[in-house]
Structure 1
Amino acid sequence: MEQSVSHQSSNALRGFRVQAPLVDSVSCYCKVDSGLKTVVEARKFVPGSKLCIQPDINPNAHKSKSSRKERSRVQPPLLPGLPDDLAIACLIRVPHAEHRKLRLVCKKWYHLLAGNFFFSLRKSLGMAEEWVYVLKRDRDGKISWNAFDPIHQLWQPLPPVPREYSEALGFGCAVLSGFHLYLFGGRDPLRGSMRRVVFYSARTNKWHRAPGMLRKRHFFGSCVINNRLYVAGGECDGIHRTLRSAEVYDPNKNRWSFVQDMSTAMVPFIGVVYDGKWFVKGLGSHREVMSEAYDPESNSWSAVSGGMVSGWRNPSISLNGKLYALDCRDGCKLRVYDGATDSWNKFIDSKLHFGSSRALEAAGLVPLNGKLCIIRNNMSVSLVDVSSPDKQVESNPQLWENIASRGHFRSFFVYRHFVVQLSTPPEWKS
């Protein structure tokens, strides 16, 4: 399970009017190449995501002044009767759930919504939205992704995944730059272990190819630190089945590179980023339980033990410097790790347990709008406010909310796989 994100202000949700800056629409479109990896004609970028945060463009970028004037004269307005700067001020206030419809209006609207400026402006005005994206597998073994909109409390399907991932097993998923959902590695039933990498863009609502990993691997560990994707361990078809190697993908350079190998070969089954390090727990070559931690600053692995590892269970997540884990199958009990005593303590109990069936088992734990979001196998969703643990659930029911009812996907065999959080604006928080 991986995570991500960016916040929508409560003022925007209440309809608070935010004055949008008037912009020159002719100079606010940033050109993106086919790999979505570079932006030209922009003066400034958001680190790690190549995003234009200033609409002013180099005036010499076009071939000639006459061609620029001719282009601006021929282009129809975004909204008839309004200057384009006012039209953009209106369009940025449309919720992300409706952006799929806006892209179909005309090519000019499509390029506006797929560009960097539109999302950067929404972020700067506090209109960024935070969605949760969930992977499910049907009874025939086919996988698909669905997005949960917490504002309207609705699930929406994503475009079909690329064919190589329709039936893959043991692949990784992560979010980079806040709006790119990556699928990488895994094992194809026919082709075996893969190096392939694809990603979904929330701006274009499409899947794209990315550079492949350096090693084929499946059932490996992965995490994101400082907007870089790390993978380690796992298995590979062939003689050396269990792997020690680790590598990192930097979206700024759009390439993979090896990092320090793990101390021993491992197939991780749980991992979390906590206190600036990546902790993994898994099975060694002889099926023994092992735990290691990777420090990206020193590019080194070290063995870990003690109360944190022995009491560590999945799903887990780090939020605001604290490490949380679910303590029951239906995800209705939370524990928190106490570094001073090196132990896990009881934290919050919902006082309402759904049962221990496989369909009600908690599949993932991700941060959502400052709260912990629990996703269960039947696609039900609960939010837990961990900011006030001293309050009682009975006296403050808002501490534990069920915001999506059960049974949305009862026709599907939806058991634990990946749950990631994807933020529609260009921002990532670990």
Structure 2
Amino acid sequence: MDMRNQAPLVDSSACLCRVERSVAGAAAPRLVPRSKACVQPSLRASIHPLKPKRSPGGVGVGGGQCPLIPGLPDDLAVACLIRVPRADHWKLRVVCKKWFRLLAGNYFYGLRRRLGLAEQWLYAVKCDGDGRVSWDVLDPAHRAWRALPPVPGEYASAVGFGCAVLGGCHLYLFGGRDPRRGPMRRVVFYSSRSNRWHRAPDMLRRRHLFGACVMGNRLYVAGGEGGLRSAEVFDPAKNRWSFVSDMAASLMPFVSAVHGGRWYVKGIGEQQQVMSQVYSPETDAWSAVLELDGMVTGWRSPSVSLGGHLYAADCKDGCRLRAYDEAAGAWSGCVDSGHHLGSSHAVEAAAMVALHGKLCVVRNDMSVSVVDVTAGEGSLRWETVAGKGQIKTFVTNLLSSIAGRARTKNRVLHCQVLEA
């Protein structure tokens, strides 16, 4: 193992304190032992996929030692603990070492997923006007964004990097351009179960401003600035990158989506022309999409595939959505909130994700709107999960413009949903 990949580990209680306690509230700081601040996250060597550790006794999670909860069998104790809300898991970790080990492994969270108890949180990676990259988390139950400890140093000021989720609980950052080192092959991932950053194998090519998607729990990347045509795939089961077929033409993607088991990519070609390509993993082949194809014509906004349908924003603030009708081969308006926020940079729809089976629109001002697109036309209802509200947002944007602070506005780069 390359020793350069090793880094000193961050005190786990401090890391958990800053991440999970901030979501739970400020009422219980005194319950967590004070330790050094999580100024720089640790990057452990690649350990993906994470494997549960066997107990010394070899008998379940209890290991044949003292029970998890005195007076209760361990299986019944686990049945109780897995029902504790995710925002309170940091409290469970500080009860004792045995509870900490239980929540540090895959068994606990794997059981929550199998029983339908896993909770989805929304993570947003953003960049301010000075180029500093940070990330926040939104617990839908608390309806408030919380700042997280810093991202790994390589991505503190990187641009043009990719972001994706594998296994439902691993958030990957990969590629991009470092201001000092140039394009990178670096890959790191955050586990919502262990609450740590880890190293993963580097990509085979240095690339930034490229396209990325997840199909079949595999991470695909393709194209990039500099006339790249190569494409590669990362298989977490093998913990290895490998090349796939090259693109039909070099492309710098600016929007992409997975729909119908295929990856649609739209971007700028070498001659600065708009191009569209589609990749099929079954045949491992790229093909050009016809210029007048109804799906990609005019498609520039964030999009998401939900329930077998592809949705995209039809206005800058994402308050009006449209869906792609495969039978007609065209986009059609389907959902309108009726309350539009404007066309400023702050309220621009930066990302669309699926959260708890609903369509979630995230804007640059960190306001979040959710709508159940599967409901009947008369039952559609928009709900604000997080945000300042229309009037307060307008006043904030007006004051910022007057004060000349427009250049320092935040910009949401990526949004992903992790469960635990």
TM-score by length of 1: 0.78
Distance 2:63 2:207 in 1: 50
Give 1:148 shift.
1.1
Aligned to 1:303: 288
Aligned to 2:139: 149
Aligned to 1:369: 356
Greater CA deviation, 201-210 or 133-142?
Answer: 133-142
Distance 2:147 2:117 in 1: 22
Give 1:198 shift.
0.2
Is 1:259–2:247 an aligned residue pair?
Answer: no
Distance 1:269 1:34 in 2: 30
Of 247, 250, 253, the match for 1:268? 253
Give 1:116 shift.
1.5
Is 1:126–2:122 an aligned residue pair?
Answer: no
Distance 2:217 2:48 in 1: 16
Is 1:344–2:331 an aligned residue pair?
Answer: yes
Matched-pair contact (CA < 8 Å) for 1:347–1:389: no
Distance 2:264 2:46 in 1: 35
Give 1:109 shift.
1.8
Aligned to 1:18: none
Give 1:361 shift.
0.7
Decide whether aligned partners of structure 1 residues 72 and 267 sit closer, same or farther in structure 2, where only a CA change above 3 A counts: closer
Aligned to 2:33: none
Give 1:114 shift.
1.7
Decide whether aligned partners of structure 1 residues 281 and 34 sit closer, same or farther in structure 2, where only a CA change above 3 A counts: closer
**Could you tell me which amino acid in structure 2 is paired with residue 350 of structure 1?**
S
Aligned to 1:419: 415
Decide whether aligned partners of structure 1 residues 338 and 72 sit closer, same or farther in structure 2, where only a CA change above 3 A counts: closer
Matched-pair contact (CA < 8 Å) for 2:305–2:311: yes
Decide whether aligned partners of structure 1 residues 40 and 415 sit closer, same or farther in structure 2, where only a CA change above 3 A counts: closer
Matched-pair contact (CA < 8 Å) for 1:311–1:343: no
Is 1:401–2:383 an aligned residue pair?
Answer: yes
Matched-pair contact (CA < 8 Å) for 1:311–1:344: no
Is 1:35–2:47 an aligned residue pair?
Answer: yes
Greater CA deviation, 184-193 or 413-422?
Answer: 413-422
Aligned to 1:49: none
Is 1:217–2:207 an aligned residue pair?
Answer: yes
Q: CA offsets per residue over residues 236-271 of structure 1, 9 Å max, x none?
A: xxxxx2200000000000000000000111100000
Larger relative contact order (Cα-Cα within 8 Å, sequence gap ≥ 6):
1
Distance 1:155 1:388 in 2: 27
**Could you tell me which amino acid in structure 1 is paired with residue 410 of structure 2?**
V
Q: CA offsets per residue over residues 135-180 of structure 1, 9 Å max, x none?
A: 1223432211211111222323333211011000000000000000
Decide whether aligned partners of structure 1 residues 149 and 117 sit closer, same or farther in structure 2, where only a CA change above 3 A counts: same
Give 1:78 shift.
2.6
Aligned to 1:165: 155
Q: Secondary structure at the match of 2:79?
A: helix
Decide whether aligned partners of structure 1 residues 109 and 251 sit closer, same or farther in structure 2, where only a CA change above 3 A counts: same
Decide whether aligned partners of structure 1 residues 34 and 257 sit closer, same or farther in structure 2, where only a CA change above 3 A counts: closer
Q: CA offsets per residue over residues 358-381 of structure 1, 9 Å max, x none?
A: 111111111111110011111111
Decide whether aligned partners of structure 1 residues 156 and 105 sit closer, same or farther in structure 2, where only a CA change above 3 A counts: farther
The gaps in structure 2 that reach 5 residues or longer are 1-44, 401-407
Aligned to 2:169: 179
Distance 1:331 1:406 in 2: 16
Distance 2:94 2:295 in 1: 50
**Alignment RMSD:** 2.6
Distance 1:140 1:311 in 2: 31
Of 260, 264, 277, the match for 1:292? 277
Matched-pair contact (CA < 8 Å) for 2:279–2:287: yes
Greater CA deviation, 119-128 or 282-291?
Answer: 119-128
TM-score by length of 2: 0.80
Is 1:334–2:321 an aligned residue pair?
Answer: yes
**Could you tell me which amino acid in structure 2 is paired with residue 233 of structure 1?**
G
Matched-pair contact (CA < 8 Å) for 2:321–2:336: yes
Decide whether aligned partners of structure 1 residues 72 and 323 sit closer, same or farther in structure 2, where only a CA change above 3 A counts: closer
Distance 1:319 1:327 in 2: 16
Report % sequence identity: 58
Distance 1:124 1:91 in 2: 15
Matched-pair contact (CA < 8 Å) for 2:203–2:241: yes
Matched-pair contact (CA < 8 Å) for 1:137–1:143: yes
Aligned length: 360
Aligned to 1:29: none
Matched-pair contact (CA < 8 Å) for 1:313–1:327: no
**Could you tell me which amino acid in structure 2 is paired with residue 406 of structure 1?**
K
Give 1:80 shift.
4.0
Q: How does 1:199-238 map to 2 (within 5 A)?
A: 199-235=189-225
Distance 1:381 1:123 in 2: 25
Give 1:40 shift.
6.7
Distance 1:343 1:369 in 2: 27
Aligned to 1:238: none
Q: How does 1:47-62 map to 2 (within 5 A)?
A: none
Greater CA deviation, 127-136 or 223-232?
Answer: 127-136
Aligned to 1:313: 300
